[in-house]
């Protein structure tokens, strides 16, 4: 057993890509939650609102698939947004089993405010990375890991 004065050896974990990605994700999510606390908005909810806002009338299965959210989890998420009066589901013409998603006026207003917060949040992140070129490099590298 080593003494409590010895430094914890972490280099074997900190040099692992997956470990670093997870730590970065946790840090970014915590900062996101702090930024969006006044709107009571989680990262997945923000993404759903953005996609619905940019694609009104799309089926909930399409939105869930793009975000990689399982159907049951997505229904729970949409139920939360519906209960807050931010989204609404309408039956897809010709397919009574499918729901099309729309923002309500309240949802559109919240999304507008959320986009302002996101822009400021993104600016802070880009500054931490060292500027737009570093951001673009990071996004390119992350995309390579997704292939």
> Is position 6 within any domain?
no
Domain that holds residue 77: 11-146
As a whole number of angstroms, the longest Cα–Cα distance in the chain is 71
Q: Which long-range contacts (CB under 8 A, 24 or more apart) does 59-68 make?
A: 59/92, 59/98, 59/99, 59/100, 59/101, 60/89, 60/98, 60/99, 60/100, 60/101, 61/98, 63/101
- DSSP secondary structure code for residue 8 in this structure: P
Q: Could you tell me the pTM of the whole model? A: 0.85
Encode pLDDT of 95-111 as tens digits: 778 889 999 999 999 99
How many structural domains does the chain have? 1
**Which CATH number is 134's domain given?**
1.10.10.10
> Is position 76 within any domain?
yes
Name residues whose C-beta falls within 8 Å of residue 71's C-beta, 6 or more positions apart in sequence: 61, 64
Encode pLDDT of 20-68 as tens digits: 999 999 999 999 999 999 999 999 999 999 999 999 999 999 999 999 9
- DSSP secondary structure code for residue 55 in this structure: S
> Is position 96 within any domain?
yes
Q: How far apart are CA 13 and CA 10, in angstroms?
A: 6
């Amino acid at each position: 057993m080593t003494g409590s004065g010895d430094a914890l050896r972490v280099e074997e974990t900190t040099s692992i890509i997956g470990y670093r990605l997870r730590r970065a994700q946790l840090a970014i999510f915590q900062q996101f939650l702090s930024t969006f606390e006044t709107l009571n908005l989680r990262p997945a909810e923000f993404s759903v609102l953005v996609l619905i806002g940019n694609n009104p009338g799309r089926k909930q299965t399409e939105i869930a698939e793009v975000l990689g959210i399982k159907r049951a989890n997505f229904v729970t998420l949409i139920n939360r947004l519906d209960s807050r009066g931010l989204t609404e589901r309408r039956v897809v013409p010709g397919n009574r089993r499918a729901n099309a998603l729309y923002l309500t006026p309240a949802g559109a207003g919240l999304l507008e405010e959320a986009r302002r917060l996101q822009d400021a949040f993104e600016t802070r992140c880009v500054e931490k990375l060292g500027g737009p070129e570093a951001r673009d490099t990071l996004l390119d590298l992350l995309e390579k890991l997704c292939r």
